Amino acid sequence: MPELTYRDALKSTLVQEMDRDPRVLLMGEDIGVYGGTFLVTEGLLARYGPKRVIDTPISEAGFIGCGIGMAMLGLRPVIEVMTWNFSLVAADQIIQNAAKIRYFSGGQAGVPMVIRGPNGAGVQLSAQHSQALESLYGYFPGLFVAAPATPADARGLLRTAIRGSDPVIFLENASLYGLRGEVPDEEYTVPFGQAAVARHGRDVTLVTHGRTLHMTLAAAAQLAAGGVESDVIDLRTLRPLDMATVVESVRRTHRAVVIEDQGGLYGVAGEVMAGIYERAFDDLDAPVVRVSGEDVPMPYARTLEVLAQPNEAKIMEAVRRTVA
Amino acid sequence: MTRVRVNGDGQAMVRKVEHPGVDTDVLLEWYRSMVFVRHFEEQAERSFRRGKVGGYLHLYIGQEAVAVGVLGAIRDDDIIFASYRDHAYVLLRGTDPGAVMAELYGKATGVCKGKGGSMHLFDVQRGFYGGYGVVGGHLPLAAGAAYTLRYDHGGDRVCVCFLGDGAMNTGAFHEALNLAGLWGHDGLCPLVLVVENNQYGMGTSVPRSSAVPALASRFDAYDIPNEVCDGMDPEVVYDVVRRGVDEVRRTGRPWAVETLTYRYAAHGAADLLQPYRAKTEVQEWRQRDPIAQTEQRLRHAGALDDAKVEAIAAEAERRVQEAVTFAEASPEPAPGELYTDVYGDERQRER
Ligand SMILES: Cc1ncc(C[n+]2csc(CCOP(=O)(O)OP(=O)(O)O)c2C)c(N)n1
Ligand SMILES: [Mg+2]
C-alpha cells in the first residue's frame, strides 16, 4: 500500500472523482491560481480549467449558495472554505437552504454538495480562526458531517461525500494535512455512519474523532504500558453517529471516556455520553468521563492554547479516574 | 409603450409612450390568467381566515401583471427561483391548482406533500425550483443554477429569479450579484433578475430602507445591464422582459429589471392594520389595476364584453372551488412522511 499525506489523499481523490465525473467541480477562495490555502487543490486549475476550478471572491454566502443552486440542477460542487470559521457567514445558506431543500420540496430537489476545509484549533490562530464546529452542523437533519482522522479515511469519506446525494460538511484539520499513512490502491469508499476501531482493548472504551484520535492513540499506548488496554473508537462521521459500535464496545469494557476538541457544553461528547447512558447504562461500572476543550474562546499565546485543548496527559488522567 | 423613469427622489414617473401591441388572443389569455390568480389568492385568504391554511400566507394581489408578463416572455424549459410570495408563478407554469391549494392546506396531495406550505412551493418538473422564506437567501441559488445551465451543454436556457425590493438590502443579494456579474463576463450566467418593487418590505417603504431608492441602479455596480418598467401593465412587462431575455439567451450575461408594482393585499395575512401606508395610496394604485387596465384594453379591441367578463370570472371561480374541494377532500400526510425526504438515500440516516 502506498503512503500518502492526508493532503495528497484528498487531492488525488478530487482528481480521481473529477476525472470520473464531469459534473464534479471545485469552488472556493484562492483554490486555483494560488493553489489553495493548504495546497489541497494545487495544480488543479491547470488540469481542469477555470470552468471547473472556480476562484471566487470573498463571498462565502454567495458561493456556497451558488453551489447549492448548482447541486439542485445536477452538478456536484466540492466547495472549499478557507477554514470552517468563515462558513459562519454562510450559515444561512448551509442550514436554511442546503439542509432543508429536499424536505420542504417534498423530495423534488436535492443538494449533492460537499463543503470541505480545516476545522478547529492548534496552530495559534486565536479566537476567530480556531473554532471547531462539528456540534453546530451536527445539529441539523439534512446534513452529513464527516471528520476523517487518517489519510485512508480522508480518501474513503471524501469519495462517499462526492458520490452521495446530500450536502456533506467535511471537516479536516490544519495539523493533519502533513500526516502520512497507508492508503489502499483500490477504489474504495468509507460509508457514513460506520465508526472505526483504531485499537482493541478490554478495559476501557475511548471514543473520539478527527485530530484528537492521534493523541488518544498515543495515550492508549502509554496506558497499555501500565496495563490498561483501551478500545479506541474513531467515529469518522458525526452525522450519522455510529452509536452501535460505541455501545457494543462499552458492553465489553464497562467504562468509557469521550474525547473532543471543542468545548464540552452542547457538544459531540455530550451526545455520545447520552447515547451510552440511554443504551448501556446497566453495563457501566463507572461514570462516563469527557475530555473536551476548555469553555473559553481560543487564546493566542501558545501556553494558553495548549491549556485550552485536550492532550495526552488529560486523556490519561481521565482514563485513570475511570478505571480506578 | 409604457416606460418608467425614476426622478431624483426615487419616485417613479410613469410615462405612456405607445403600446407594444401584443396579439389580442394573447392578451385575452393573460387576462384570464390574472383573473384566475386573483381568485385563487382571494380564496387562499378566505381559507386562511377559516383556519384551513396555517402559518404565513403572502398574497400576490396587485402584482399579477409582473408574473404574467415575465412568464409570457420565457420558455417552458427555462427555470425559476422565487421568494415566499410564490403562488402565482407555479399556477402560471401550469401546476395543478388543486395540488397548490392542497399544499397550502398541508395535505398529502400538495405539491410538496404538505411539507413546504405556502412559502415553499416547488414544481421541479415545470422548472419551478422553489419558494424560499429567508429574504434574499435564494439569490445565490439562482446564480449557481444559471451557471449550471451553461456548464456542460452550452444551451440557451435562462434562469429567472424573482425578488422583492426588500431583498436588495441583504448581503446575499450583493454577493450573488457580484458573482453573477463576474461569471457573466465569460458568458456563464444567464440569469434574469426580476425585482418586484411593490414599494414595501413588510411595513418599511423603499425610501426608508434603501439609501438610493432608485433600486435598479444597484445592478450597475455589478456590471449587470438593467431597466425599470411599469409593473402594473402585463404588456409592458412582457415587452421589456422579452427583449432582456433574448439578450441573456444570446450572451449568457445576467440582466435585471425593476418592475414598479404594488401589493394591495396585506404583507401577510396577519398584517391587518397596515399603519405604514394610507388607504388613499392603495386606492391610487388600484386605479392602475393590471386586471382592470387589461380588461379596458380588451373591451376597446372588441374582445371582451360584460358577458365574457362574467364568464371568465365564473370560470376562474369554478377552477378555484375545484381546487378547494380537492384540498379539503385530500388526506393528511401519513405520519411516516415525517421521516422521508430528509436524505436522498434514506439508508444513510441514523444507523
Ligand atoms: C432574512 C429575513 N429577515 C426578515 C424576514 C421577515 N420578512 C419576511 S418578508 C419581509 C419583507 C420582504 O420584502 P420584499 O423583499 O420587498 O418582498 P415582498 O414581501 O414585498 O414581496 C420580511 C422582513 C425574513 N423572512 N427573512
Ligand atoms: Mg416589497
Residue B3 covered by a domain: no
For ligand 1, whether the C-beta of B166 sits within 6 Å is yes
Residue with cell 476550478: A53
Q: From the CA of B265, which ligand is nearest?
A: 1
Own/partner pairs, A133-136, CB within 8 angstroms, 24+ separation: A133/A84, A133/A85, A133/A87, A133/A88, A133/A169, A133/A171, A133/A262, A134/A169, A134/A171, A134/A209, A134/A210, A134/A238, A134/A260, A134/A262, A134/A267, A134/A268, A135/A238, A135/A262, A135/A266, A135/A267, A135/A268, A135/A271
CB A12 within 8 A of CB A62: no
CB A174 within 8 A of CB A283: no
Alpha helices in chain B (DSSP H): 24-49, 64-73, 87-93, 97-104, 139-151, 171-185, 206-209, 234-251, 279-286, 290-300, 306-329
Region A133-148 average pLDDT:
98
Rounded to a whole number of angstroms, the distance from the CA of B105 to the nearest CA of chain A is 14
Chain A residue with CA closest to B177: the answer is A62
Q: Give the model's pLDDT for residue B169.
A: 98
Chain A residue with CA closest to B121: the answer is A105
Region A99-107 average pLDDT:
98
- Residue A108 C-alpha from the chain's centroid: 29
A73-77, A111-115, A116-120, B7-11 — which is least confidently predicted?
Answer: B7-11
Q: What percent of chain A has pLDDT over 70?
A: 100
CATH says A3-182 is which class?
alpha beta
A24 near B CB under 8 A? no
Confidence class of residue B1 from pLDDT cuts 50, 70 and 90?
Answer: very low
Q: Give the model's pLDDT for residue B87.
A: 98
Question: Cβ neighbours of residue A61 under 8 Å, at least 6 residues apart?
Answer: A89, A90, A92, A93, B140, B171, B172, B175
Q: What is the tens place of the pLDDT at every residue in A207-246? A: 999 999 999 999 999 999 999 999 999 999 999 999 999 9
> Rounded to the nearest 5°, which phi and psi values hold at B173?
-55, -50
Catalytic residue among A17, A29, A80, A129: A129
Region A278-289 average pLDDT:
98
Q: Give the residues across from A118 on adjacent strands.
A: A172
Task: Report the amino acid identity of residue A239.
Answer: R
Q: What is the tens place of the pLDDT at every residue in B158-213? A: 999 999 999 999 999 999 999 999 999 999 999 999 999 999 999 999 999 999 99
Q: What percent of chain A has pLDDT over 90?
A: 97
Domain ranges, residue B61: 20-331
A244 near B CB under 8 A? yes
Query: Which residue from B202, B209, B267, B277 has its CB within 8 A of the most atoms of ligand 1, so it is best to mutate?
Result: B202
Res A2 pLDDT > 80? yes
Res B13 pLDDT > 90? no
Q: What percent of chain B has pLDDT over 70?
A: 92
Q: Give the model's pLDDT for residue B208.
A: 97
Q: Whole-angstrom Cα distance, residue A118 to residue A267? A: 18
Q: Is B241 helix (H, G, I), strand (E, B) or coil?
A: helix
Catalytic residue among A60, A134, A172, A305: A60
Compute the C-alpha angle B168/B169/B172, nearest 5°.
75
CB atoms within 10 A of CB A59: 22
Own/partner pairs, B315-318, CB within 8 angstroms, 24+ separation: B315/B32, B316/B32, B316/B35, B316/B36, B316/B38, B316/B39, B316/B40, B317/B39
Res B30 pLDDT > 90? yes
Q: Give the model's pLDDT for residue B19.
A: 58
Task: Report the amino acid identity of residue A156.
Answer: G
Residue B102 is part of a domain; what is its CATH number?
A: 3.40.50.970
Q: Give the residues across from B125 on adjacent strands.
A: none
Q: What is the tens place of the pLDDT at every residue in B281-316? A: 999 999 999 999 999 999 999 999 999 999 999 999
> What is the average pLDDT value for chain B, to the nearest integer?
93
**Architecture of A196-323 per CATH?**
3-Layer(aba) Sandwich (3.40)
For ligand 1, whether the C-beta of B167 sits within 6 Å is yes
Peptide bond into A240 cis (omega under 30): yes
3-state DSSP of chain A: CCEEEHHHHHHHHHHHHHHHCCCEEEEECCCCCCCCCCCCCCCHHHHHCCCCEEECCCCHHHHHHHHHHHHHCCCEEEEECCCHHHHHHHHHHHHHHHCCHHHHCCCCCCCCCEEEEECCCCCCCCHHHCCCCHHHHHCCCCCEEECCCCHHHHHHHHHHHHHCCCCEEEEECHHHCCCEEECCCCCCCCCCCCCEEEECCCCEEEEECCCHHHHHHHHHHHHHHCCCCEEEEECCEEECCCHHHHHHHHHHHCCEEEEEEEECCCCHHHHHHHHHHHHHHHHCCCCCEEEEECCCCCCCCHHHHHHHCCCHHHHHHHHHHHHC
Task: Report the amino acid identity of residue B347.
Answer: R
Q: Look at chain B and report how many structural domains it folds into.
A: 1
Rounded to a whole number of angstroms, the distance from the CA of B145 to the nearest CA of chain A is 5
CB A26 within 8 A of CB A78: yes
**Catalytic site residue A129?**
yes
Q: Whole-angstrom Cα distance, residue A71 to residue A27? A: 12
Q: Whole-angstrom Cα distance, residue B245 to residue B164? A: 19
B268/B62: higher pLDDT: B62
For ligand 1, whether the C-beta of B198 sits within 6 Å is yes
Q: What is the tens place of the pLDDT at every residue in B232-281? A: 999 999 999 999 999 999 999 999 999 999 999 889 877 888 999 999 99
Cell reading at A2: 502506498
Distance A64 CA to ligand 2 centre (A): 25
**Catalytic site residue A200?**
no
Task: Judge if A3-182 and A196-323 fold alike in CATH terms.
Answer: yes
**Relative to the CA of B56, which ligand 1 atom is closest?**
8
Compute the C-alpha angle B42/B44/B46, nearest 5°.
70
Q: What is the tens place of the pLDDT at every residue in A167-176? A: 999 999 999 9
Cell reading at B169: 438590502
Q: Give the model's pLDDT for residue A121.
A: 84
| Residue (of B220, B197, B229) closest to B210 by Cα position | B197
Q: Give the model's pLDDT for residue B305.
A: 97
CB B189 within 8 A of CB B143: yes
Q: Give the model's pLDDT for residue B66.
A: 98
> What is the average pLDDT value for chain A, to the nearest integer?
97
Confidence class of residue B220 from pLDDT cuts 50, 70 and 90?
Answer: very high
Q: What percent of chain B has pLDDT over 90?
A: 88
Distance A316 CA to ligand 1 centre (A): 53
- Domain residue spans in chain A? 3-182, 196-323
Q: Give the model's pLDDT for residue B350.
A: 54
Confidence class of residue A123 from pLDDT cuts 50, 70 and 90?
Answer: confident
Res A13 pLDDT > 70? yes
Residues of B in contact with A106 (CB under 8 A): 110-116, 122, 341
Residue B40 covered by a domain: yes
For ligand 1, whether the C-beta of B133 sits within 6 Å is yes
Question: End-to-end CA distance of chain B, in Å?
Answer: 63
Q: Is B164 helix (H, G, I), strand (E, B) or coil?
A: strand
Residues of A in contact with B345 (CB under 8 A): 164-166
| Residue (of A175, A179, A183, A215) closest to A199 by Cα position | A215
Q: Dihedral through CA B171, CA B174, CA B175, CA B178, nearest 10?
A: -170
